[in-house]
Amino acid sequence: MKPLTLSRHLLFEAVVIGALSGLAATGFHYLSHIFGDLLFAWAESNSAPMRLPLVLVVPTVGLFLVGLALQYYPPSRLGGVREVSESIERQGGIIPIDRIVNVLLSGLVLAFGGSVGPEGPMVQMGALIGSQVGQRLIPRPESLRRMVRAGAAAGIAAAFRSPAGGTLLALEVFGARLDTELPAIGIAAVTGYLTRTAILGREYPFALSYQPDQIPLIALILIAPLMGLVAAPTGHLFIRLLALLKTCFPQRWPLSLRVCLGGFLVGGIGIFYPQVMSAGYAVVENALHGRLSLKLLVILLLLKILATCITFGSGAVGGMFAPTFFMGAMFGGIFGFGFHALFPSAVPQPEIFVLLGMVVMFGSIIKGYWSGLLLVADMSGCYHTLLLPGIIAGGISFLVSWKLHDKSVFDLPLAAEQSGLREEEEPVQEPVQT
């Protein structure tokens, strides 16, 4: 194939994949957020006793129904970032169409209040679209892998409204190369972003209410590095607890009952602190506007860690990016508002540290250094303010985290039943080159 013809094919595929991924992300938003809002709209406006019936029953019953689907249709348990990585590495970029069931169930877990996020399923959906489009247009192994990476980048760009972060995540997490792959991945990411924002708007979901200044030099030299140092063991604690809770739910119980128990426990937390349920982006916005006390920031950080570990440990499915950013925002808020109370001249704008906390926690848990920085910068529009502290604090968190745990959260050992599922699946043959 001539280079010009190949370039046209790549451009066409990238635009199609990006547009479809953006539409899919919009549909997922309506499934998870709109449905979830209908269920929990009144929860935070009532006292704890009044919340009891709905906040406890909805996640318990809802996750039980999701658990039934996971139990009786085992392929629905496979999905997310890890599944995309394995399809690239082991299956030549072929992703079975039935992985869409995992995406739908992830949206329902989110809507029913499980402590998960929408971005992982959107990555899975984008990668699935990339795989299906690639198989129909240019079914060569390398082309398929490239299209899967492009779809994953478009999914994350649409989810986070971050084309730069989506592109870089394809490099850091999915092994894309700095060659002819990058333009296709970048075009798909931008197209996915434009499609999502054209329909739903909000280019900067985490924008501050003021134009931030550069943080003072003393904060850049002392506080930012300290944040990176503390973020690494905090992320390590979360990963260790998540691995532990994967083994704590009674394995002799049916999966549906385990997921139901997880929903019941998360609902019990949500009676008093509904902020930790679902993705919690509204809570992150409250932290960015200084509406949360220092005490509440500490409580929400600890409870979000617990609720997320319970949700995933029970066997539920969903995305890990949103809980990571939530924990990072609470972590950064503790530093920012804590040091602002002690040394207001060193931290005159504590809200910046809420954003910086998201960067450092992403580097520790997801093992995404530059992608985490660009994601948060894209979502907030604070490029010039976050660049230097993000490089310092994010880099320290990323490097120290490798000493504590040499894998990301996506590389945790699978549950025994899920491992058996993967072993039972026959290996997919790579398509014949044409």
Helix (H, G, I), strand (E, B) or coil at 310: helix
- HSE value, Cβ hemisphere, 13 Å, CA-based, for 146: 24
- HSE value, Cβ hemisphere, 13 Å, CA-based, for 423: 7
Confidence (pLDDT) at 4: 46
All structural domains of the chain with their residue ranges: 3-200, 217-417
**Res. 364 pLDDT band, cuts 50 70 90:** very high
> Which residues have C-beta within 8 Å of that of residue 342, sequence separation ≥ 6?
none
- Looking at the predicted structure, is the pLDDT value of residue 428 above 90? no
**Res. 431 pLDDT band, cuts 50 70 90:** very low
Count CB atoms within 10 A of the CB of residue 48. 11
**Which DSSP string do the residues of 375-389 spell out, in sequence order?**
HHHHHH--HHHHHHH
Determine whether domain 3-200 maps to CATH 2.60.120.430.
no
- The two tokens of residue 32 are 């998870």
Is 386 within 8 Å of 218 (Cβ atoms)?
Answer: no
> Which residues have C-beta within 8 Å of that of residue 309, sequence separation ≥ 6?
238, 241, 242, 244, 245
- The strand pairing partners of 319, in sequence order, are 117
b/e map of 363-375 (b: 16 or more CB within 10 Å)?
Answer: bbbbbbbbbbbbb
- The two tokens of residue 207 are 């924008």
**Res. 51 pLDDT band, cuts 50 70 90:** low
Confidence (pLDDT) at 434: 29
What span, in angstroms and rounded, lies between the C-alpha atoms of 150 and 142?
12
Residue 341, amino acid: A
Cα distances (Å, whole numbers) of residue 170 to 80, 126, 196, 358, 425: 14, 12, 19, 19, 26
Count CB atoms within 10 A of the CB of residue 187. 23
What span, in angstroms and rounded, lies between the C-alpha atoms of 163 and 14?
13
Range among 52-66, 77-91, 103-117 with highest mean pLDDT value: 103-117
- Looking at the predicted structure, is the pLDDT value of residue 148 above 70? yes
Residue 13, amino acid: E
Helix (H, G, I), strand (E, B) or coil at 117: strand
CATH code at 217-417: 1.10.3080.10
Kindly state the percentage of the chain with pLDDT values over 70: 87
Q: What is the mean pLDDT of the chain?
A: 86
pLDDT one-digit tens code per residue, 292-338: 999 999 999 999 999 999 999 999 999 999 999 999 999 999 999 99
What span, in angstroms and rounded, lies between the C-alpha atoms of 100 and 104?
6
User: Which segment of 20-29, 220-229, 391-400 scores lowest on mean pLDDT?
Assistant: 20-29
Confidence (pLDDT) at 425: 55
More confident position, 139 or 17? 17
59: which DSSP letter? Answer: H
Same fold, 3-200 and 217-417: yes
Count CB atoms within 10 A of the CB of residue 321. 28
pLDDT one-digit tens code per residue, 396-426: 999 999 999 887 888 776 554 555 565 555 4
**Which DSSP string do the residues of 121-181 spell out, in sequence order?**
HHHHHHHHHHHHHHHHH---HHHHHHHHHHHHHHHHHHHHT-HHHHHHHHHHTT---TTTH
Reported pTM: 0.90
Place of tokens 């690239």: 88
What span, in angstroms and rounded, lies between the C-alpha atoms of 8 and 340?
54
- HSE value, Cβ hemisphere, 13 Å, CA-based, for 70: 30
Is 82 within 8 Å of 74 (Cβ atoms)?
Answer: no
b/e map of 9-38 (b: 16 or more CB within 10 Å)?
Answer: ebeebbbbbbbbbbbbbbbbbebbbeebee
Kindly state the percentage of the chain with pLDDT values over 90: 53
More confident position, 37 or 349? 349
pLDDT one-digit tens code per residue, 349-361: 999 999 999 999 9
